[in-house]
Structure 1
Amino acid sequence: MVVHCASKNNDFGNHTLTTDQEFEFSFCLEIFSTLFFCHIWWQNKDSAFDAYNAKWLDNPCIGPNCTYEARPDGIYLSGKFRESWSTH
């Protein structure tokens, strides 16, 4: 699996992960303007999504932590289904 996360000002680059590996990043929160997006490629699937958006009205993160998990049927945030895979 390859993960690439970035914002307007920060690009964390590509990270190749194997089973049970994690990729973690942190940032300084700017109220109403922080936006991070990620793109994940896994086998013949991929998904691009907002990983954190300060403008979310119903923040799905647990406290200051957003924990995503890639599963065969999609991307989950804090245990709840969030994004579907696209297939090629």
Structure 2
Amino acid sequence: MNYFNNIFSFIFVLNLVLANAWPFPTYFVYIHDALPDHSSSLTLRCQSKDNDLGYKDRTLFFCHFYWNNKDLRFDVFNKHIIDHCKGTDGDLGREPGMYECHWKVQEDGFYFASSRKDEYEKKYDW
């Protein structure tokens, strides 16, 4: 199956404002669907803890994932994860000052990588 068809690209674009800092860093959080072909669809609901997109130590986004009678809820972006997101350094045609984090959903659990080029590390079981 085509790479783009195999990936569920759910992108959060977060503008995190650090008190009077400029330019504001932008974070892209990708959630890739790497579940088996022809299996049940992955369903997810993502939201923020609140609407505070200002201070990086308080910004929190979490998702609730559902697949094959399994479900799990966890933070996909918070003050601990932010330090592991890598800058794009102009990669992918993006300006410096943009950062990305990647989550991959597999049959056995959830994996995290700092960039699309890094190795994924398992963080959660279903």
TM-score of the aligned structures, taking structure 1 as reference length: 0.63
Deviation at 1:47, TM superposition (A): 1.4
Asked if 2 retains the 8 angstrom alpha-carbon contact of 1:61 and 1:77, the reply is no
**After the TM superposition, which residues 1-88 of structure 1 pair with which residues of structure 2 at under 5 Å, given as runs?**
1-9=42-50, 28=53, 30-54=55-79, 56=80, 59-63=83-87, 64-78=99-113, 79-85=120-126
User: What is the number of equivalent residue pairs in this alignment?
Assistant: 67
Instruction: Look up the equivalent residue of 1:32 and give its one-letter code.
Output: D
Write the distance in 1 (CA, Å) between the matches of 2:74 and 2:61: 9
Which structure has more strand as a fraction of its residues?
Answer: 1
Mark the structure with the bigger radius of gyration.
2
CA RMSD after TM alignment: 2.1
Unaligned ranges ≥5, structure 2: 1-41, 88-98, 114-119
Distance 1:72 1:49 in 2: 17
Bigger share in helix: 2
TM-score by length of 2: 0.46
